[in-house]
Amino acid sequence: MSKQILSPLPGTFYRRPSPDKPAFKEVGDSVAVGDVIGLIEVMKSFNEVQADQAGTITGFPADDEEPVMAGQPLVDLG
């Protein structure tokens, strides 16, 4: 059964630490618990999203700069 990392907060999802930096993670990367996979901007405040489970990334159901709800999947893990 595939696993997912969910957004802990409602806001805007960012896959990169800043617009001119590479993404935190790409498809195919392995993820350990505690790794930062992205940021959620809530009311102009930026919050790191840390992986709560380990695995290999198979996809990003939420795009960079996309509005997300709390509980919405951000990362698919294989």
Binding positions for another protein, rule: CB under 8 A: 9-12, 41-45, 65, 67
Q: How far is the CB of 56 from another protein (least distance, A)?
A: 30
Distance CA 24, CA 60 (A): 12
Closer residue to another protein, CB minimum distance, 52 or 63: 63
Distance CA 54, CA 77 (A): 8
Coil vs helix vs strand at 74:
strand
Whether the Cβ atoms of residue 31 and residue 25 lie closer than 8 Å to each other: yes
Q: How far is the CB of 31 from another protein (least distance, A)?
A: 25
Q: How far is the CB of 67 from another protein (least distance, A)?
A: 5
